[in-house]
Chains A and B, each alone.
Chain A
Amino acid sequence: MAKQITFEFEGKNYTLEFTRKSIEIMERQGFVIGDIVDKPMLTLPALFAGAFLAHHRSIKRKEIDAIYEKMTNKEELLQKLAEMYNEPLEALMEEPEENEGNVEWGASW
């Protein structure tokens, strides 16, 4: 099951998810995920809006912005949305077969 963010806003349930099609639409509209580092304040609302395309395509941008305004913990939201955005591409990449040449790595956090 793909990563999703779910929440309720004004009595309605929302599910945020990225499909390959929604990413294609976002990129066609000029969204570049690389901008997340240089222009996070511009990118995050666009990323948030793009996550509605999969399950709530008819929702208006105004409504999305209103929901976005009410979202708490935006830093973590950005992180989760970025993970979700990468998932459709990561799923296409095969894990290397196990052999002695593979590099094991770890993170400190």
Chain B
Amino acid sequence: MGGELVETAPQLSYTEQFYNCFPFYLSIGMTYDQYWNSDCLLVKYYREAFDIRKKRENESLWLQGAYIYDALCAVSPVLHAFAKAGTKPQPYLDAPYPLTKKESEDIEASKRKADRQRARAMFEAWASGLDLPEHKSKGE
């Protein structure tokens, strides 16, 4: 009883364990010299950097999926088997997704500015068609 606590598994030497992990660190960009001769804690930072890179790649793939989804949604009206003749696809996004809060605020601001200019142009066009006394006096 309790024999499993007494029997020891064959122990790997430190060197063997170093060699076991070596290919992984080479694969994430460490050099031979960094792994074997430099500060032994460097591996931790390489691992952290690797995690950040993985996360970034994952986000990039997710973003690509989102663009593909949007593109499919845009063309879906014409992909419909019983689509009416003359059906046109929706236009694709006119700009990439904003990635930062500032970018998103800038886009909102420029959208608002464009809306204001359009409204002003419409108002001016409408106002110029009116038979106002001011126009009359200018004409005279």
Could you tell me which A residues sit within 8 Å of B by CB distance? 1-2, 18-21, 23-24, 27-28, 32-34, 54, 87-89, 91-92, 94
Is B127 interfacial (CB-CB < 8 Å)?
Answer: no
A1 and B47 contacting across the interface, CB-CB below 8 Å? no
Q: Given A19-B36, A24-B36: A2 and B41 within 8 A (CB)?
A: yes
A23 and B39 contacting across the interface, CB-CB below 8 Å? no
Which residue of chain A is the closest to B39 with respect to CB atoms? A2
Is B38 interfacial (CB-CB < 8 Å)?
Answer: yes
Using a Cβ–Cβ cut-off of 8 Å, how many residues does chain B contribute to the interface with A?
17
Chain B window 76-108, contacts with chain A (Cβ cutoff 8 Å), 1 for yes, 0 for no:
000000000000000000000000000000000
A33 and B41 contacting across the interface, CB-CB below 8 Å? no
B40 and A91 contacting across the interface, CB-CB below 8 Å? yes
Is B13 interfacial (CB-CB < 8 Å)?
Answer: yes
- Other than the given A19-B36, A19-B40, A87-B41, 15 more pairs (CB < 8 A) read A1-B39, A1-B41, A2-B41, A19-B37, A19-B38, A20-B37, A20-B40, A27-B13, A27-B15, A28-B15, A33-B14, A88-B40, A91-B43, A92-B21, A92-B43
